[in-house]
Chain A
Amino acid sequence: MKKTRLVRVAALAVSLAVVGVACGDDDDTGSTEDTTAAAEDTATADTTAAAGVTCAEGTSIAFFGALSGDAGNLGQNIKKGAELAVVQFNAANAGCQVTLKEFDSQGSPDQAPALATQAIEDASILGIVGPAFSGESKAVNPLFDEAGLSIITPSATNEALNDNGWKIFHRALAGDDKQGPGVVAYIKNKLAAATVGVIDDATEYGKGIADIVREGLGDAVVASDSIDPAAADFSAAVSKMKDAAPAAIFYGGYYAEAGKLAKQLRDAGVEATLVFGDGVKDNGFIEAAGPAAEGSIITCTCSDGASNAEFAAAYGEQFPGETPQTYAAEAYDSANAFLAAIASGAADRAAVLAFLKSYDVAGVTKQIKWDETGEVAGNAVYSYKVEGGAIVVEGLIE
C-alpha cells in the first residue's frame, strides 16, 4: 500500500516536471512585457525639451495580436509602428510617460479571450492597438466592448466586424468590403482572367474575403475549395485547380499557408497567376514559397508605409536598418489617436472613447476619422507584386 502510494507520487512528480517545462515557458509568451526602457532612454536624453502634457504615472496603451506563431510577422510590424508612436510621444512629453504593453495572442481565437481579460483587468490600459486579426477580433471584441475599452485595429479587415454594434470598435484601414471588390476588379480588368479558382483557409478573415471574391466574380469562378491551414498537404485542392486550369487563383488566408500552397501548386504544374489578400503581404510569404512566389499579386487596403519619407526615416532611426512593413504605418496612426486622447486629458476609458468619436486628424496613411460604425473614411486598395524576391508596389487599383 505504502509502496504504491510512493510510486504514484513519483509518477505525479515526473508528469509535473515534464509538463512544467512546457508550462513554465508558455507563460513567457503569454505574459505582458513593457517597452518603456527604450522610451525612457529617449526621454532622459531629451529632458531639456518642453515638459508638454502631464498624465498619471503608469498610463498605458496595449498592443494585442500575434507576435509569434504562424502570422507573427504581421503582429511584429504593428507592434513596432505603435512603439514608434509611443517613443516619440514620451520624448516630447516628459510629464507623461506612456507604456506600451504587449499581449501576444499568437493570432489564435482560442488564446485571445484569456489575454483580453488580463488587458481589461489592468486599469492602466486606456486603449488597444489591435486585435490584429479578424478571428481573434470576433472572439474578444465583445469583451472589450463590455469593458468599454476602446480598440483601433490596424489590420483586421473582415467585413462583418463593423456589424456587431460594438461602440469601442475602430479600424485604421478599409475593410474587406472594400478590398474584396478591389481584388475582383484587378482580376477582371488588369489580369483579364476569364477563369478563376478561389481557395480559402476557413478562417474568419480568409473565408470572409474569399466569399466576397467568389460573389464578385460570379460565373468566372470555375473551381473553389477550402484548406485546413494546420495541415501540410493541400493535394486535394491542388488537384482541383490542376483539373480546372484557371487563368488566375485567389487565396484568402495568411502568408505561411499561402507560401506552402503556392509551392504545391507550382510543383503540380499549375501556371495560373496567384492573387492574395493583405494577410499574405509579408516577406514570410516569399520565404515560405521560394521561387514559387515570383509574379504573385498581393492586394492590401494598407498603404506602403515606406512611401511616407518622414515616417520611414523616423522608423529607420528607431529600428536601425528596417523599413516600415505591412500595417506599421496604420499601427502608428492608431497609437497616435490614443496618445492624442491621453494628451487631451482623457484619464479613463470612457473619456478616451468619447475623444475618438470626434477625432479627425491627418495621419501618415490617410485622414483618420471614424464614422459611427468605426470605419475609417476612404476606400483605397493597392496592389503589390512579387518581383525578384521582394514585394513591390504596383499602385492603386482602379
Chain B
Amino acid sequence: MSDWLIYRTFWDLTVTGVALGAIYALVALGYTLVYGVLRLINFAHSEVFMVGTFATLITATNFIGIPLIEEGNYPYRTGITLVAVLLACIVGGMVVSGAGAVLLERVAYRPLRGSGEHVGAVVLAFASAFTVSLIFTGSTRTNIIIGLVGTAPLAVLYLRIFRRGRSAPRLAFLISAIGASTAVAEAVAIWGPRDREQYQTSRVLEKRVLFEFLGTDVRIDYVLVIVGALLMLTALVLFVNRTRLGRGVRAVAQDVETARILGVNVDFVILVTFLLGGVMAGAAAMMFTLVYDQTRFNIGFLLGVKSFTAAVLGGIGNLRGALLGGLVLGLGENYGAALFGGQWKDVIAFVLLLTVLMFRPTGILGESLAKARV
C-alpha cells in the first residue's frame, strides 16, 4: 500500500523535496567553503542562518511595515511592490548573515589562530565582562555598563594572549564554534520579544500554483527557491573560479603557508570565505521564510545539522557537492518519510549519509575545493 502511495505522490514529494534540498544546499555551501579553506567545521553557521531569518522578518515587518494579517487575510503584494519587497528581504538577509559570519570569524575563530586580533579581543572582552556581571545583577543596562567598563583592561589582556603567534589546537576551534552557536541562539531566545516562541513572518507572496508538472501543482514559492538557489550557486562558482580573490580562496585551500609566501593575504581570504558562506545562508534564510512564514531562536539547529549532512554527503569542501548533497538529502528525506512515516524523516537522512559514506568516504563528489575543478 505504501508503495502505491509513494507512486501517487511521487512528483508532489519531488517538488517539495527539491525546494527544501535547495535551501539545504545554500546553507551547506557555508560549511563547505569554511571547511575547504580552514579544515574547520563551523558549527555556528546554523546561527548565521537563524540571524538571516530574523533579518528578513525585521526588514519586512519593521522597515517596510507589512502587517501579519491585513483585513483578515495575508498581506499579499503584487507586481513591482512584490518584487521590491522580496528583493529588500533577500538583501536584508544576505547583509545581516554576511556580517554575522564575518563577526563570528573575527570573534570566535581568528583570535584562536594567534594573529593578534583587535576586533575579536575587544568584543570578547566586552562579552566576558558582560557575562560576569550577569551573575550579580539582572538589569540589562547595568550589565552593559559593567561590560563596557571591563572591556578596556580585559581587551589588553586578551590581545597579549592572542599575540603569541601560534594557533590553538583544533579542538579549541570546535569548542569555540559550539559556544558561539549557543551564545547567539540563547541571546535571541532571551532578549527577543517573543522569547522561545515561534515568530511569524508576513506572507507577501500569494502561493498560487504556477503550472502543472506531471500531474502535480508547482507553486510559485518553490519555483523561486529553486531558481534562486541555482543562481546563487552559479554566481559563487564563477566567483571562486574566475576572480582574483577566488583564486586566493583556492590557493589558501590548497596550502596556507605557500599561499602566504606567494603574497596572498590569508586573513583577508578567510574573512571573504566566511562572508561568502554568510551571504549564501542569508539568501537561504529569506527563501526559508518565503516558504514557511516562520522562524524562531533555534530554527538553525535542525536545519544546520541537515545542511552539514548535505555538505558531507556531497563531499565537504566541494561546491557542486553541496548542491548535489542538498538535493539528494531533501529528496531522500521526503521519499523516505512517505514510505516509512514522517517520524522517520531524520533517521532516513542519517542512514542515507552513512550508506553513502560507507562506499564513498569522501562523499559523492569527493573533497575538492583545493583542486581547481570546484
Contact = CB atoms under 8 A, between A and B. Distances in A.
A242 B190 CA distance: 39
A283 B161 CA distance: 52
B168 A7 contact: yes
A10 interface: yes
Contacts of B207: 267
Contact of B138 (A16, A28, A73, A236): A28
B342 interface: yes
B142 interface: no
A113 interface: no
B88 interface: no
Contacts, number: 193
B158 to A, nearest CB: 7
A7 B203 contact: no
Interface in A208-226: 225-226
Nearest to B112: A11
Nearest to B303: A232
| Majority-rule SS of B interface residues | helix
Given A21-B131, A235-B17, A226 B342 contact: yes
B203 A11 contact: no
Given A8-B169, A68-B196, A232 B299 contact: yes
B162 A236 contact: no
Contact of A240 (B5, B73, B195): B5
Interface stretch (B30-38, B95-103, B177-185, B352-360): B177-185
A235 B182 contact: no
Contact of B69 (A18, A234, A291): A291
Contacts of B288: 232
A53 interface: no
B164 interface: yes
A277 B165 CA distance: 61
Given A8-B169, A11-B168, A236-B337, A20 B72 contact: no
Interface of A: 3-4, 6-22, 24-26, 28-29, 68-70, 72-73, 106, 199, 202, 225-228, 230-240, 242-243, 256, 259-260, 263-264, 267-269, 284, 287-288, 290-291, 388-389
A243 B292 contact: no
Contacts of B219: 267
Contact of B341 (A4, A68, A226): A226
A11 B342 contact: no
A10 B162 contact: yes
23 contacts: A6-B164, A10-B112, A11-B169, A14-B108, A17-B131, A22-B187, A68-B195, A106-B196, A227-B342, A228-B343, A232-B302, A236-B337, A236-B345, A239-B338, A243-B12, A260-B198, A260-B294, A264-B292, A267-B207, A269-B209, A288-B200, A290-B203, A388-B72
A232 B168 contact: no
Nearest to B69: A290
A108 to B, nearest CB: 11
A28 to B, nearest CB: 7
B94 interface: no
B311 interface: no
Interface in B129-180: 130-132, 134-135, 138, 158, 161-162, 164-169, 172, 175-176, 178-180
Given A24-B134, A70-B197, A228 B345 contact: yes
B264 to A, nearest CB: 24
B124 A236 contact: no
Nearest to B11: A239
B182 A22 contact: yes
A73 B219 CA distance: 33
B68 interface: yes
A296 to B, nearest CB: 15
A17 B127 contact: yes
A24 B135 contact: yes
Interface in B111-134: 111-112, 114, 124, 127-128, 130-132, 134
B217 interface: yes
B195 A8 contact: no
Nearest to B167: A7
Contacts of A72: 195-197
A239 B13 contact: yes
B346 interface: yes
A7 B161 contact: yes
B62 to A, nearest CB: 18
Contact of B112 (A14, A17, A288): A14
B9 interface: yes
Contact of A19 (B73, B182, B196): B182
Contact of A10 (B69, B168, B186, B334): B168
B5 A235 contact: no
A242 B127 contact: no
A318 B134 CA distance: 31
A49 B344 CA distance: 61
Interface string B331-352: 0011001100111011000000
Nearest to B12: A239
Contacts of B343: 202, 226-228
B9 A7 contact: no
B217 A269 contact: yes
B203 A21 contact: no
Nearest to A255: B198
Given A68-B195, A225-B342, A236-B345, A242 B200 contact: no
A92 to B, nearest CB: 32
Contact of A69 (B5, B185, B196): B196
B352 to A, nearest CB: 15
A14 B123 CA distance: 11
A73 B194 CA distance: 11
Interface string B211-237: 000000101000000000000000000
Ranked 6 nearest A-B pairs via Cβ: A236-B337, A18-B179, A11-B172, A235-B16, A226-B343, A10-B161
Contacts of A4: 166
Contacts of A238: 16
B239 interface: no
A73 to B, nearest CB: 8
B338 A24 contact: no
Interface-centre pick from B132, B167, B190 (highest chain A CB count, 10 A): B190
Nearest to B68: A290
B9 A242 contact: yes
A219 to B, nearest CB: 14
Interface in B273-299: 288, 291-294, 299
Nearest to B346: A228
A284 B194 CA distance: 12
B128 A17 contact: yes
Given A256-B197, A269-B217, A9 B161 contact: yes
A19 B183 contact: yes
